[in-house]
Structure 1
Amino acid sequence: MISNNKLAIFLIVASVLFGTLMLTFLKLAQEEVNVYVAGFFRFLFGFLIILPYILKSKFTVFKTIHHKKHFFRAFLNLPSMLLYFSALVMMPIEKATAISFVVPFLVTILAVLFLGEKIYLYRSFALVLGFIGMMIILRPGIIEISLGVYMALASSFMWSVVIIITKSIAKDDSSITILSYGYTYMTIFSFIIALFHWQTPGLQTLIYLFFGGLFGTLLHLCINHAYKLVDVSVTQPYSFLSLVFASLIGFYVFNETPDLFTWIGASVIFLGVLIISYREMKLEKEIIRKSIDIKN
């Protein structure tokens, strides 16, 4: 039987891949429509994908004791989404992804402060390596920081708070409940804003938006369930893998060639991921062995 740690790691890595694919299709869609329309259709299609399950459950999926948290989570998620999607238009996809790497540091700090999680030395070391890798890629003070960078940073801060809220809700609510509330609120909120900036997408763009919604839905299902299994701080270093996926997709889809510093930074980040993966697996084996010894 697969352990919680291994399953959570698998889910996070899968969510990173799905998230990169979502951004790819949304970047393609925004060649025709603005960020408000793209954001609305992304969540509308996501909502339609999970609607059969909501109907099958006879709306019992909405049973929760965290109504205010669900609302506040969506309220923060909306500007986070719009800022990040806007930044995506202004810069290469791997650059926007690299900037979002501030999220694991913020989340880990917030998890310690508000969720009472312990931050172990090896997790801290992996995060430090991730931060160094991000600094190598961005090179602040050496290259100009554009408006898109500031938008991506603001989005990352809001998303970090959303993750912490998600973790606090996940103790009591299922992944599909969190997803259902999020998509219901986000569809309504984004539709109201899109009405004032409406652009009708063509068929090809609608297809892009559908796949953006599909991969975005898979992304949220994976991370919501992963947060039920392990501490948030365990999962965060794996989000750095998104740079590898984003760089490959940026090269093959958008002809965006990552510079040398991007690859050096990515290598440092990947080293941090390898370290925490090895340590988490070793720690898990030690816990299992001690448990067996105690039973014997």
Structure 2
Amino acid sequence: MSNNKLAIFLIITSVFFGTVMLSFLKIAQEDVNVYVAGFFRFFLGLVIILPYILKKKDTVLKTTHLKQHFLRAILGLPAMLLYFSALVLLPIEKLTAISFVVPLIVTILAVFFLGEKIYIYRTLALILGFSGMLVIIRPGFVDISIGVYMVLFSALLWSVNIIITKKISKDDSAITILAYQSIFMSLLSFFIVLFFWEMPSIKTFIYLILAAMCGTVLHLTLNHAFKLVDVSMTQPYSFLNLVFASIIGYFVFDEMPDLYTWIGAIIIFTGVLIISYREMKLDKEIIRKRVDIKN
């Protein structure tokens, strides 16, 4: 499988598991506060990968980017707490739609800090995705709540985090990035949760375990996708979050997406189809040129 196709598969997988993770956390936060949910999300994730870390500690924990890993945790902690807090205040598909500012911010940052080029098809896909988001939240026509501001600030922090991840992914593996993220996030969130501790019920604890499992898959696939291709190429696929979130919101939380959500979703999905077709075609052209050169 080519890098482009594998990256597309990985990013769609990460989007799906990320949405499922949010669903489990939304349910869990009916019983515990955001600080407890955030701590267990990463601590249990660390427990899941700990056997592998201990077995391969000489390679997994080997890095020259320790400061960058810690910086990711410093940015990731408030991003996580704000986003998880907004889960309680907003319908899951609405929260997901607002977070679509991330691909736009990341793509712009990638130009300045990673030297990536923005091709016309990627730009078109991003514009369509962002337009779809605006249709859904309708700024100026619908009152913007505190939950919306939480998601927007979280999105800004997460966007910077993605750029740092892309930079260190050139040298560190996906599991190394995940290991340090789990370690540092567990430590930082532990010191906070001490002041806001609530004992989860057995049922809630199961939801937190499932959230941690989904989060582990999310970050492993996401980190590896960043290693394979330009970060700007992966971003339009983030808009698929809305499709998954709308389905889960309807069947799990009885949240009926309105007409504007569906119109926005169609616009977003059109952008994803455009970028998918172009990247697949570009990949075939590259392979064909390689074959011609060899012949």
Shift of 1:58: 3.5
User: What SS does the corresponding residue of 2:57 show, helix, strand or coil?
Assistant: coil
Matched, 1:150 2:122: no
Aligned residue for 2:11? 12
Equivalent runs, 1:51-62 vs 2, <5 Å: 51-62=50-61
* Backbone CA RMSD of aligned residues: 0.6
Moved over 4 A (4+): none
1:237-271, Cα deviation, whole Å (9 max, x unpaired) = 00100100000000000000000000000000000
1:24-83, Cα deviation, whole Å (9 max, x unpaired) = 000000001000000001111100000000111135311100011000011100000000
Residue identity (%): 69
Q: Distance in 2 between matches of 1:178 and 1:14?
A: 18
Q: Which amino acid aligns with 1:184?
A: I
Q: Distance in 1 between matches of 2:21 and 2:119?
A: 32
User: What SS does the corresponding residue of 1:161 show, helix, strand or coil?
Assistant: helix
Shift of the 190–89 alpha-carbon distance from structure 1 to 2, 3 Å rule, reads: same
Aligned residue for 1:79? 78
Shift of 1:114: 0.2
Matched, 1:290 2:276: no
Moved more, 100-109 or 59-68: 59-68
Equivalent runs, 1:215-226 vs 2, <5 Å: 215-226=214-225
Shift of 1:295: 1.7
Q: How many residues align?
A: 295
Q: Distance in 2 between matches of 1:269 and 1:206?
A: 35
User: What SS does the corresponding residue of 2:139 show, helix, strand or coil?
Assistant: coil
User: What SS does the corresponding residue of 1:268 show, helix, strand or coil?
Assistant: helix
Aligned residue for 1:235? 234
User: What SS does the corresponding residue of 2:126 show, helix, strand or coil?
Assistant: helix
1:100-130, Cα deviation, whole Å (9 max, x unpaired) = 1000000000111100011000100000000
1:170-200, Cα deviation, whole Å (9 max, x unpaired) = 0000001000000000001011101101110
User: What SS does the corresponding residue of 2:32 show, helix, strand or coil?
Assistant: coil
1:183-242, Cα deviation, whole Å (9 max, x unpaired) = 000001011101101110000000000001000010000000000100001100001001
Aligned residue for 1:247? 246
User: What SS does the corresponding residue of 1:84 show, helix, strand or coil?
Assistant: helix
Q: Distance in 2 between matches of 1:39 and 1:59?
A: 29
What TM-score, normalized by structure 1, do the two folds share?
0.99
Unaligned runs of 5+ in 2: none
What TM-score, normalized by structure 2, do the two folds share?
0.99
Unaligned runs of 5+ in 1: none
Equivalent runs, 1:107-146 vs 2, <5 Å: 107-146=106-145
Q: Distance in 2 between matches of 1:49 and 1:223?
A: 17
Equivalent runs, 1:129-208 vs 2, <5 Å: 129-208=128-207
Q: Distance in 2 between matches of 1:48 and 1:31?
A: 24
Q: Distance in 1 between matches of 2:148 and 2:16?
A: 22
Q: Distance in 2 between matches of 1:200 and 1:108?
A: 41
Q: Distance in 1 between matches of 2:230 and 2:104?
A: 14
Matched, 1:28 2:27: yes
Q: Distance in 2 between matches of 1:4 and 1:290?
A: 16
Q: Which amino acid aligns with 2:195?
A: F
Q: Which amino acid aligns with 2:159?
A: S
Shift of 1:149: 0.1
Aligned residue for 2:265? 266
User: What SS does the corresponding residue of 1:177 show, helix, strand or coil?
Assistant: helix
